[in-house]
Structure 1
Amino acid sequence: MNRKLWLSAALVLAAAGAGAETLLRVDARAAVPEPHSGQLQLGASRSPQGHVLAANNQYLMQDGRPWLPVMGEYHFSRAPASQWEAQLRLMKAAGVDIVASYVFWNHHQEQPGAFNWHGNRDLRRFVQLAQAAGLKVVMRLGPWAHGEARYGGIPDWVVDAMPTRRNDPVYLAQVDKLYAEIGAQLKGLLWKDGGPVVGVQIENEYNLRGPGRGEEHIRTLKALALKAGLDVPFYTVTGWDGTVYPSGEVLPVFGGYADEPWAASMSELPPKETHAFRFDTRVSGDLGAQTKSRGAGTAETDKDHVPFLGAEYGAGLPAMYRRRTLVSPDDIAAMLPVQLGSGVNLLGYYMFHGGRNPVGASGAGLEESTLSGGYNDTPRISYDFQAPLGPDGQQRPVLTKLRPIHYLLREHGERLAPMAVRRPERTPAGPADLQTPRWAVRSRGDSGFLFFNNHVRQHPLPAHEGVRFEVQLPGGTVTLPSHPVDIPSGAYFIWPLNLDLDGVMLRYATAQPVTRLDAGALGIIHVFAPTPGVAAEFALADGVKTLSDAGAQMLAIGQSRGRPVHVLLLSAEELEQLNVLELAGQRRLVFSPQQAWVAEGRLQLRGPATQPLRAAVFPPLSRPRAPGLVVQQDGALQRLAFKAGASEPALQVTATRPAGPAPRVLKGGHANAALQPVPEAFANAATWSLKLPAPLPADAEDLLLEVDFVGDIGRVFAGTRMLDDWYYNGQPWQIGLRQFGLKPGAELQLSVLPLRSDAPIYIDAAHRPDFPDGQTQVAQLRSARLLPIRHAAITP
């Protein structure tokens, strides 16, 4: 090749190479305004131990330091009291800092007169157990809660006799009694008394205006809460759908869901804005409020005066009769970089733990339904919510996706909370723009975090090829990675910028921070998670180092006061099994495919009795012991195992009645959509007898009945008592049987109402039943089985 042709070819190759790189830019040089707090009139902020909780217009504070906690919803009155202690500790182990719960008025005062605070309604014991688990508490007082409850949780006798949700004197007299009762239950348990209750929410989804309503009503309810002794550091209200409240007296909290099961659509929805970064507003779209407002709410005008707090980022979705969305773990977890990258400074989930509605004293349901004027039809009993922890404490796959980000916030939230959101040079035109990269930076000074999301539920995004990021900071520009990378469809991540790792400056990493360990003689270890499809680069003063994600990889990066500092990159499989637990006076990594938590100073493991219970611990425990425990050292990991226990008990299944013709599904109600069939329709349900073995497994902590059916609605009875119900959506249905006190050999009945082929019901395409030619309905039991669950405790 002559010189002229060689130069031409080189220019062509250079042009091709230049075109292959996509440089994404953001200017993060502007100074972050200093926070201010004089505009907020909240409650008692100091504990007897001298610890102080407060808020400014940017973030929450704990003892004067920025605080970015994780909050998870768990409804005590929708769960067996026997499970509370373990479940609260499981939430703590998952990186949750605050447990939130509604106080459903109609769960405690179904009829006029005495309140019921016993058994599964024992609010005081629930809060005490939360404190023992190391959790703070936010009580959502109502009086109107929504929460898919009948009349939003307001008792029938109140709704029948008086106006509600306004400053009506008769209504306020009853609310005064409710709040006084709650105050008595929580006496001595507030933050100012050394207790865990740090906040209360007033009302819910309140956007009603007019005489006796609006901010006047919220101000009145707050005054009633204070009269009841509920003097706490934080008062909140929900901030979406045109909410109204007295500015400066309460903090608005926000939310978002990956789909809208309350919608009337029978098809896939357009891309939700919960998967798109927000730079101009904190208010997400429709969150299912039952009242509507045409004007802008207080939250829109209050943006510069209060921090961006979340309370209802859906960790799952509720079951609605007309729309049965089934979300994937990535649908949920991909929201986290988006919300944090949009400025959220309290990551609050609804729901984090599923439950079941209590049945009213009269046998009537306490669920939301169109028959009682609600916007939605919901199951009589089930409140599973596809939550990370199921109604009986089952660990769902989504939990393994959420935990690493919770641990990141526990370790680095103090750094992140004061950081401002930086809008990239080019952003999507809106949630429906699926081509433009979705990302943001939060920074303060030269430190920051880069947030990226390439996942949208039911709308695959293209891979972004040849990507590099250019972040302009006051002290200079950070360009990463060292070479262009391809970001796969479905990827989402958080990368650090100029992160101080115990005195060693990490210029950037293309891996996600998780936690920090003090490993004694080994030194200090900073744990990172890999980014799928992207090599893990760690940019240090002496250059860029790359680690493989094939397994745990350790890299020495420097010294801190004479001690070595390392980064540890986990594999994707290790990350899914990771628990970060305080055990034997030290933070440790505990890898387990089952559930792991700490109680009474011991490591607790819980999982199917038909499988070995396993965990790997780092740093190792000094002398772990438990009956039947096998201990092995595997390099740096200490492996703990119990052999498989009981086999799967036999369940005798017998068909007892074939299905009759299901009635046509009618449309109507406020949504003019599919209505749940009337009770008489279940006369045509197919039924099966489910006979339990005798004896039941003696060493099983619980026995899960798992039912796999195809139909419209499933119900399980013990005699005439309904134990649980379920709208078919393709999700496994499990029921913990121990709570019901069933006798060995007891016989249950399963009924399945047929699903009609013409039912105007949305079910995700992957689970929508096929109806062969001529078949107009389906009621099929594919399997029913019993899964014994066991629990072991290891003394360290």
Structure 2
Amino acid sequence: MTTYSLKLDGPNKEIKPGKLAGNKGSNPKGESFGFTNFYMLRNDQPIIPVVGEFHFSRFSYLHWEEELLKMKAGGVNVIATYIFWNYHEEEEGIFNWSENRNLRHFVDLCAKHELPLVLRIGPFCHGEVRNGGIPDWVFDKPLEIRSNDELYLFYAKRLYRQIAKQVKGSLFAEGGPVIAVQLENEYMHCGAPLDSWAYKAGVFMSSGKGGNSHLAELRRIAEEAGITPMFFTATAWGGAAVPETDTLPMLAGYAYTPWIPNQPPSGEYIYRDLHVKPSEEVNYDTLDYPVAYCEMAGGMQVSYTARPNVSAESVEAMTLVKLASGSNLLGYYMYHGGSNPVGKHGFLNEYGLPKITYDYQSPLGEFGRVGKSYDRIRSLSLFMDAFGSVLAPMGTVLPEGQSAIHPEDTESLRWCVRQKDGSGFLFLNNFQDHLELPDREGVRIELDTAQGKVAFPHAGHLTLKRDVSAVLPFNIELEGALIVSATVQPLTKLNMDGQPVLVFYAHPSLAAELVFSRTSVASVELDASQAVEEANAIVVTPQVGKEHAFTVVLTNGQKVSVLVLTREETLQTYKFRLWGEDRLVISDSRLYAKDERLVATSEGKASWSVSIAPALPEKALLASMGAVQAKREGLFQTYLIEVPAYEPALTVSKPLERSALVELDTNWPNHVSDVFLKVAYDGDVAAAYLDNQLLTDHIHYGEAWPIGLKQFKDDLEHKQLHLSITPLRKGTVHTFVNQALVERFEGVEIAVFHAIEPIPYYTVALYQAFN
């Protein structure tokens, strides 16, 4: 057994107004935002926002609302989006703000669903778009981009005026969702490939000239156009320019980086004190601003030459490491992927990337695909929503040597603490990209705090499995109950029948226990759980699972329910405001809430369950389709839903081994909202065509290719979808120039379909019955 010790005898984090103290504002409802030097405020309370990047112009406008609701269900409470100049003014002087480019519609949907919005308005955006979003025709002009060149500013001003016209009346102070605006992107740090050059790959545009003077000029013309948000943001990594006032510097964290050849294990999974020292060079005083991430990898876009496969565990671990290291705003790039539009004169992708797909392996992907990281981010977002006001003021305390751990070090335990006044959270991480860390057995962590000594576990030792990351509380008072320590992770809290409920979850490798101080807890009422009473504490070994809960009786006589879920249940847990109160919902389907309806979508399974707490009477809910049975499970009412199974009629012919012609019956029943094709293949790249038009493409990176069909449903009727694979070559290519390039290949070409499987998405809405 190895014991790790840390004495928490330092001062609390110094919280002061900071440089953004004046950037506060309220809307007509009296809701407000503000800042200290360490965290953001919502209605004068500390918060840890979760920002999700979703490029509206890369998704069908017919489905924006559903996708925004899925983001909200996933725990995202701020939306960020780029406005790509070349998507809207591909031809000089002709602006397009219609259909998928309808910015106003997107803004209005964010307003409708109370999702604050950050607009990233360029002129340069990057975002893996052709020329970083700058239209081709701009490069025909006698001007210098990304500078205070008079002609360049003329076009930037025209763009800003167009944007201002689209979002008029939508600022937060006006009752709209727009709380912030980003001008430019990675300015003075990097440029994008100059795809309009076209003669040679690898030619990049300028990273910018003029520093803060150019950003100041962009701000002047933006404000002159009426774009006056509560605050501006700036991408601040890599020594980028950052204005000195009214601007929140934003950071990035990517572990899978195609721009680094033969990438070694990343330092993104090492604990640091980011408020004192960011992981890379910045041009501002970090102690005057909160640590805020606008681009923390929710995945990574594959390119032709770099094809990372980003695991869900990596996204979860990075989130916890950044949170532990002092980040008080977590933004995912991308949170929602999509598809590049086809321009009037060709494709609008960046060189070396897929022409259409921008799936990004993100939590929500192209066509609304739901990925495994979606569940992990949601569980952490629930924690930040419920306990962010407690965590946000806590400073990072690093055990000696933690920030100096090398990413390739597989021996050292990675851990740190955030604390205030001797209470806080212990963070553990046993994940590292590009290598495997061993299981940690025989671990004991002891903290000497201002409120006394605590240990994890209370007695004995714990095991931390490979790829597991966790956050555990100590000396935290929740709903009047003082938790001395716990080896279960806080998830959320709510009220049921006027009684508080604290929800935790158990990691498979950590034996579950909660230690309550007898100064606040008089007794516990148990069913299947066990408790040991000591002189100063009550140690509870809880029964884990949604059907088990126990009650803590406080010294003042009040009661608090405690529920400890399994890890599997946690990854199926949502929290919604439904039918008059906050409700916890656990389901093996995908959920979102709309208009007092709980919408459940099951991927490929015609039966599933939805468990709801506080429970409603047995027949209080009706289903839009199918048979529903109800049963009581502890605090939950569980509804078993079954709909008629549907097997989409599919015919596949293969004129060539590398080509498949797919015809699908599009007469889907009403309870089937979508059909995805799951295409398993080996090859280099693949493409899907309909009526000789490219619908989407896929660079092979080891995962099956998912194609959502609902937006093409009518077009597919009685037509064939052509799937084509470009072979992967294994062998030797000999080239030489003899007037023209001659290529001779010796080896094997691999291009084969293993399976083309249609997966129906069954959708049912649960709604309240009224007599």
How far off is 1:132 after superposition?
1.8
How far off is 1:358 after superposition?
0.2
Q: Which has the higher contact order (CA 8 A, sep 6+)?
A: 1
User: Is 751-760 or 231-240 further displaced after alignment?
Assistant: 751-760
- Classify the secondary structure of the residue corresponding to 1:159: helix
The 1:580–1:388 alpha-carbon spacing in structure 2 relative to 1, beyond 3 Å, is: same
Paired position in structure 1 for 2:323? 340
Matched, 1:77 2:57: yes
CA–CA distance in structure 2, aligned partners of residues 176 and 77 of structure 1: 21
The 1:498–1:191 alpha-carbon spacing in structure 2 relative to 1, beyond 3 Å, is: same
- Classify the secondary structure of the residue corresponding to 2:26: coil
Query: Given the alignment, which residue of 264, 271, 280 partners 1:277?
Result: 271
- Classify the secondary structure of the residue corresponding to 1:400: helix
CA–CA distance in structure 1, aligned partners of residues 614 and 31 of structure 2: 31
User: Is 137-146 or 785-794 further displaced after alignment?
Assistant: 785-794
Paired position in structure 2 for 1:393? 368
The 1:210–1:506 alpha-carbon spacing in structure 2 relative to 1, beyond 3 Å, is: closer
How far off is 1:394 after superposition?
2.1
Matched, 1:419 2:394: yes
- Classify the secondary structure of the residue corresponding to 1:324: coil
How far off is 1:736 after superposition?
1.8
CA–CA distance in structure 1, aligned partners of residues 95 and 758 of structure 2: 37
The 1:554–1:694 alpha-carbon spacing in structure 2 relative to 1, beyond 3 Å, is: closer
- Classify the secondary structure of the residue corresponding to 2:433: coil
The 1:309–1:758 alpha-carbon spacing in structure 2 relative to 1, beyond 3 Å, is: farther
Query: Given the alignment, which residue of 219, 222, 234 partners 1:222?
Result: 219
The 1:394–1:524 alpha-carbon spacing in structure 2 relative to 1, beyond 3 Å, is: same
Query: Given the alignment, which residue of 295, 300, 314 partners 1:312?
Result: 295
CA–CA distance in structure 2, aligned partners of residues 114 and 41 of structure 1: 41
Paired position in structure 2 for 1:634? 632
Query: Given the alignment, which residue of 481, 485, 503 partners 2:457?
Result: 481
Q: Which amino acid aligns with 1:323?
A: A
The 1:42–1:729 alpha-carbon spacing in structure 2 relative to 1, beyond 3 Å, is: farther
CA–CA distance in structure 2, aligned partners of residues 48 and 609 of structure 1: 45
Paired position in structure 2 for 1:707? 679
How far off is 1:709 after superposition?
1.3
- Residues 403-454 of structure 1 show CA distances to partners (whole Å, capped at 9, x for unaligned) of 1110000001011111111111342433232221111111111221111101
The 1:556–1:697 alpha-carbon spacing in structure 2 relative to 1, beyond 3 Å, is: closer
How far off is 1:80 after superposition?
0.3
- Classify the secondary structure of the residue corresponding to 2:622: coil
How far off is 1:210 after superposition?
10
Any residues of structure 2 matched to 1:508-547 within 5 Å, and which? 508-520=485-497, 523-541=499-517, 542-547=537-542
Report if the CA contact (8 A) 1:689-1:748 is conserved: yes
CA–CA distance in structure 2, aligned partners of residues 607 and 465 of structure 1: 38
User: Is 344-353 or 751-760 further displaced after alignment?
Assistant: 751-760
How far off is 1:545 after superposition?
1.4
Report if the CA contact (8 A) 1:239-1:283 is conserved: no
The 1:22–1:448 alpha-carbon spacing in structure 2 relative to 1, beyond 3 Å, is: same
Paired position in structure 2 for 1:454? 430
Report if the CA contact (8 A) 1:255-1:284 is conserved: no
Q: Which has the higher strand share?
A: 2
The 1:694–1:415 alpha-carbon spacing in structure 2 relative to 1, beyond 3 Å, is: closer
- Residues 523-562 of structure 1 show CA distances to partners (whole Å, capped at 9, x for unaligned) of 2110001123111221112322122436653232223875
How far off is 1:711 after superposition?
0.4
Report if the CA contact (8 A) 1:631-1:640 is conserved: yes
How far off is 1:322 after superposition?
0.6
Matched, 1:608 2:603: yes
Matched, 1:384 2:356: no
CA–CA distance in structure 1, aligned partners of residues 547 and 444 of structure 2: 26
Q: Which amino acid aligns with 2:630?
A: Q
- Classify the secondary structure of the residue corresponding to 1:632: strand
CA–CA distance in structure 2, aligned partners of residues 160 and 470 of structure 1: 65
> In angstroms, what is the RMSD of aligned CA positions?
2.1
Query: Given the alignment, which residue of 60, 65, 69 partners 2:40?
Result: 60
Matched, 1:297 2:274: no
- Classify the secondary structure of the residue corresponding to 1:570: strand
How far off is 1:252 after superposition?
0.9
How far off is 1:72 after superposition?
0.5
Report if the CA contact (8 A) 1:101-1:138 is conserved: yes
- Residues 70-129 of structure 1 show CA distances to partners (whole Å, capped at 9, x for unaligned) of 010111000001111111111111111001111111111111113111101111111111
Paired position in structure 2 for 1:500? 477
CA–CA distance in structure 1, aligned partners of residues 385 and 354 of structure 2: 36
Q: Which amino acid aligns with 1:278?
A: R
- Classify the secondary structure of the residue corresponding to 2:513: strand
User: Is 196-205 or 210-219 further displaced after alignment?
Assistant: 210-219
How far off is 1:788 after superposition?
2.4
- Residues 584-606 of structure 1 show CA distances to partners (whole Å, capped at 9, x for unaligned) of 12111111111111100111111
Paired position in structure 2 for 1:463? 439
Paired position in structure 2 for 1:719? 691
Matched, 1:102 2:99: no
The 1:699–1:466 alpha-carbon spacing in structure 2 relative to 1, beyond 3 Å, is: closer
Report if the CA contact (8 A) 1:629-1:640 is conserved: no
CA–CA distance in structure 1, aligned partners of residues 373 and 208 of structure 2: 45
Query: Given the alignment, which residue of 110, 116, 134 partners 2:96?
Result: 116
Any residues of structure 2 matched to 1:180-219 within 5 Å, and which? 180-207=161-188, 212-219=209-216
Query: Given the alignment, which residue of 318, 333, 347 partners 1:350?
Result: 333
CA–CA distance in structure 2, aligned partners of residues 148 and 425 of structure 1: 40
- Classify the secondary structure of the residue corresponding to 1:334: helix
The 1:366–1:121 alpha-carbon spacing in structure 2 relative to 1, beyond 3 Å, is: same
CA–CA distance in structure 2, aligned partners of residues 154 and 587 of structure 1: 45
Q: Which amino acid aligns with 2:13?
A: V
Q: Which amino acid aligns with 2:721?
A: L
- Classify the secondary structure of the residue corresponding to 2:678: strand
Q: Which amino acid aligns with 1:217?
A: H
Paired position in structure 2 for 1:438? 414
CA–CA distance in structure 2, aligned partners of residues 205 and 167 of structure 1: 17
Q: Which amino acid aligns with 2:214?
A: H
Report if the CA contact (8 A) 1:608-1:789 is conserved: yes
How far off is 1:41 after superposition?
7.6
CA–CA distance in structure 2, aligned partners of residues 553 and 253 of structure 1: 42
How far off is 1:21 after superposition?
3.3
Query: Given the alignment, which residue of 732, 740, 757 partners 2:730?
Result: 757
How far off is 1:652 after superposition?
1.2
The 1:326–1:509 alpha-carbon spacing in structure 2 relative to 1, beyond 3 Å, is: same
User: Is 750-759 or 713-722 further displaced after alignment?
Assistant: 750-759
CA–CA distance in structure 1, aligned partners of residues 116 and 580 of structure 2: 21
Matched, 1:735 2:707: yes
The 1:697–1:755 alpha-carbon spacing in structure 2 relative to 1, beyond 3 Å, is: farther
CA–CA distance in structure 2, aligned partners of residues 26 and 730 of structure 1: 46
Any residues of structure 2 matched to 1:225-304 within 5 Å, and which? 225-265=222-262, 269-279=263-273, 283-284=278-279, 296-298=281-283, 301-304=284-287
Paired position in structure 2 for 1:158? 138
Counting matched residue pairs gives: 712
CA–CA distance in structure 1, aligned partners of residues 758 and 9 of structure 2: 56
TM-score, structure 2 normalization: 0.89
How far off is 1:264 after superposition?
2.8
Report if the CA contact (8 A) 2:507-2:566 is conserved: no
CA–CA distance in structure 2, aligned partners of residues 579 and 479 of structure 1: 31
CA–CA distance in structure 2, aligned partners of residues 414 and 42 of structure 1: 21
Paired position in structure 2 for 1:556? 551
Report if the CA contact (8 A) 1:706-1:784 is conserved: yes
TM-score, structure 1 normalization: 0.86
Paired position in structure 1 for 2:344? 361
CA–CA distance in structure 2, aligned partners of residues 196 and 28 of structure 1: 43
